[in-house]
């Protein structure tokens, strides 16, 4: 009886020891998580701007550790394997950064290695939506150069969905297409001008864009949104054949301006191998056709000798 009681007490003591140990492990685990989450915030408060000590003016310096934190937007995107940014990962600076990644995913380097890291930064470039668009390294943004989209955005960017055909400068774009809207990237949020910088834009780009002439006709976008911009571009097209213009009177139509085509239409000379399409209509001394026939008219023009 006494032996059985002692055995029961030993079992209870072992159980209490196990429970106590488990509670201690859980407490240490919770502490580690909280400490790990607050440490980067505490470190962040200690960081300062020190352009002379770091590889890039945007990088931050920790006086206590004498380490710089990577803040260069394109370089960080490349390190994070974002497809819109490319850098030379064979560079010594890349290896330095890769070997100094902390638990929060930030990259660090000694101020003594700033030249190597700066060389790595200089190898970085960004990819825009199309080969026609250009990347402005100084601003860190892409400049819209696609002919249809740039022409339409000049007249419609600030007008939003209220843009009319005449303001679209002979181009139509449909930013309401489901593919773009479903991803939460309406065309109004994709593009901006110097006088309409996106909220949350990188501070350097915001400052430099604000310095430019407010009436600039150029439109910009951030390379991170390149895929969505490319989708938007696919919705853009000229309303009229090349060289023709939109007329709103007597009807909303395209007016023929192609001289070789006009010569044939006026029986001056047969400058085109194709026949005059039936849907090119005369009104006074001018010739017109509807927007829906733009592609067919262009085929006719392509057969003309200028």
User: Residue 128, exposed/middle/buried by CB under 10 A (0-12, 13-18, 19+)?
Assistant: buried
Rounded Cα distance, 240 and 289, in Å: 9
What does the pLDDT read at residue 87?
Answer: 93
Q: Determine what percent of the chain is predicted with pLDDT higher than 70.
A: 68
pTM of the model: 0.62
Q: What is the pLDDT of residues 13-40, one digit of tens each?
A: 566 666 555 656 565 554 454 544 444 4
Give yes or no for residue 161 having a pLDDT over 90.
no
Give the distance between the most distant pair of CA atoms in the chain.
127
DSSP 306: -
Give yes or no for residue 142 having a pLDDT over 70.
yes
Residues 6+ apart with CB under 8 A from 17: none
What angle is formed at CA 299 by the lines to CA 297 and CA 304, rounded to 5 degrees? Answer: 95
Q: Which residue has the higher pLDDT, 253 or 157?
A: 253
Beta strands in 127-177 (DSSP E): 134-136, 141-143, 171-172
Rounded Cα distance, 221 and 246, in Å: 28
Q: Determine what percent of the chain is predicted with pLDDT higher than 90.
A: 21
Q: Which residue has the higher pLDDT, 302 or 44?
A: 302
Q: What is the pLDDT of residues 185-203, one digit of tens each?
A: 566 778 887 655 544 444 4
């Amino acid at each position: 009886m006494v032996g059985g009681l002692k055995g029961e007490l030993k079992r209870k003591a072992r159980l209490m020891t196990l429970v106590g140990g488990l509670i201690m492990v859980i407490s240490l685990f919770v502490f580690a998580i909280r400490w790990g989450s607050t440490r980067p915030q505490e470190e962040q408060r200690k960081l300062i701007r020190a352009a002379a000590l770091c590889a890039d003016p945007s990088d931050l310096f920790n006086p206590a550790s004498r380490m710089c934190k990577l803040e260069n937007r394109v370089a960080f995107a490349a390190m994070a394997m974002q497809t819109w940014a490319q850098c030379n990962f064979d560079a010594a600076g890349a290896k330095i950064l890769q070997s100094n990644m902390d638990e929060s995913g930030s990259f660090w380097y000694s101020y003594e290695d700033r030249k190597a890291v700066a060389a790595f930064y200089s190898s970085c470039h960004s990819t825009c939506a199309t080969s026609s668009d250009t990347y402005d390294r100084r601003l860190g943004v892409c400049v819209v150069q696609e002919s249809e989209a740039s022409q339409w955005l000049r007249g419609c960017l600030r007008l939003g969905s209220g843009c009319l055909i005449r303001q679209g400068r002979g181009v139509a774009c449909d930013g309401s297409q489901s593919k773009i809207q479903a991803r939460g990237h309406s065309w109004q949020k994709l593009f901006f001008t110097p006088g309409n910088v996106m909220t949350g834009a990188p501070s350097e780009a915001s400052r430099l864009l604000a310095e430019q002439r407010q009436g600039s006709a150029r439109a910009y976008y951030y390379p991170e949104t390149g895929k969505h911009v490319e989708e938007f571009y696919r919705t853009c097209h000229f309303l009229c054949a090349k060289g023709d213009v939109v007329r709103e009177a007597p009807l909303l139509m395209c007016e023929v301006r192609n001289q070789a085509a006009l010569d044939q239409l006026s029986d001056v000379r047969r400058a085109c191998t194709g026949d005059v399409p039936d849907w090119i209509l005369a009104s006074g001394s001018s010739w017109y056709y509807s927007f829906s026939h733009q592609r067919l008219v262009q085929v006719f023009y392509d057969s003309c000798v200028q």
